[in-house]
Chains A and B, each alone.
Chain A
Amino acid sequence: AQSVAQPEDQVNVAEGNPLTVKCTYSVSGNPYLFWYVQYPNRGLQFLLKYITGDNLVKGSYGFEAEFNKSQTSFHLKKPSALVSDSALYFCAVRDQAGTALIFGKGTTLSVSS
């Protein structure tokens, strides 16, 4: 069965510092991996995805994520955090056969000024 783990409920960083939000996954076969962000009282906004190719994926708002097959991880990163990045971040996985996105429980990112 597919699953996604986000081991941290909350990540706190100071503005201007680099940030990392962790995600590990379990899926049979090759994974398709996604990051979404949710602002308060808003829907899920797509940030980036890994399908194949380069392990470093660049997405919206300066975010990037690194796919590591041996560690089954897909950590979200940003070199310099902004206060406006404060939100709830979800990692999700799909396998090649299915249509459903399987989400992690989410990580709250808090960026302080």
Chain B
Amino acid sequence: EPEVTQTPSHQVTQMGQEVILRCVPISNHLYFYWYRQILGQKVEFLVSFYNNEISEKSEIFDDQFSVERPDGSNFTLKIRSTKLEDSAMYFCASSGMRLARDTQYFGPGTRLTVL
């Protein structure tokens, strides 16, 4: 069964450093998403992406964040200058269609620890 994959599984970085989190969505999916889950809190939407453009973003997704689909398979989330409060589990998801009825399938997540 196709699945979303994410690398690395755990990333440790120093405050102020740039990090890139990588995701490989399900191959025939067209819509991609990033969510985060701070330890002990709810899963929060960051951004959705389609056709090389951001479709929707939350207030969390400020200028420190960017997303990119650098090739036909990868989807990345970059945090330009990490802060302590960026420590969280970051989940990538993909769906086949943008219709709200379609299911988003999630990857296993990348745990980001900012020291």
User: Which residues of chain A have a CB within 8 Å of any CB of chain B?
Assistant: 32, 34, 36, 42-46, 49, 51-52, 90, 92, 94-106
Task: Tell me the smallest distance from the CB of A61 to a CB of chain B, in Å.
Answer: 15
Is B55 an interface residue, CB under 8 A from the partner?
Answer: yes
Q: B48, A49: Cβ atoms under 8 Å?
A: no
A43 to B104, CA, bound (A): 12
- Report B3 CB to chain A, min CB distance, Å: 9
Contacting residue for B42 out of A51, A95, A103, CB 8 A: A103
Pair A99/B43 contact, Cβ less than 8 Å: no
* B residues lining the A interface (CB < 8 Å): 4, 31, 33, 35, 41-45, 48, 55-56, 58, 91, 93, 98, 100-101, 103-109
Which residues does chain B contribute within 8 Å of A34, judged by CB atoms? Answer: 103
A97 to B101, CA, bound (A): 10
Q: How far is the CA of A32 from the CA of B104 in the complex (A)?
A: 12
**Nearest residue in B to A105 (C-beta to C-beta)?**
B42
> What is the CB-to-nearest-CB distance from B88 to chain A, in angstroms, rounded to a whole number?
14
Determine the distance from Cα of A105 to Cα of B41 in the docked complex, in whole angstroms: 6
Interface centre among B31, B56, B104, B108 (most CB of A within 10 A): B104
Other than A42-B109, A92-B43, A99-B98, give 15 A-B pairs with Cβ distance below 8 A.
A42-B108, A46-B106, A90-B42, A94-B100, A95-B100, A96-B100, A99-B55, A100-B33, A100-B48, A101-B33, A102-B45, A103-B43, A105-B42, A106-B42, A106-B43
Q: How far is the CB of A43 from chain B (nearest CB, A)?
A: 4
From A51, A90, A103, contact of B101 by CB (8 A): A51
Q: Give the residues in chain B near A97, CB-CB below 8 Å.
A: 100
- How far apart are B115's CB and chain A's nearest CB, in angstroms? 21
Which residues in A have their C-beta under 8 angstroms from that of B4?
A: 43
Query: Which residues of the partner chain A approach B35 to less than 8 Å between Cβ atoms?
Result: 101
Give Cα A46–Cα B101 distance, bound, in whole angstroms. 13
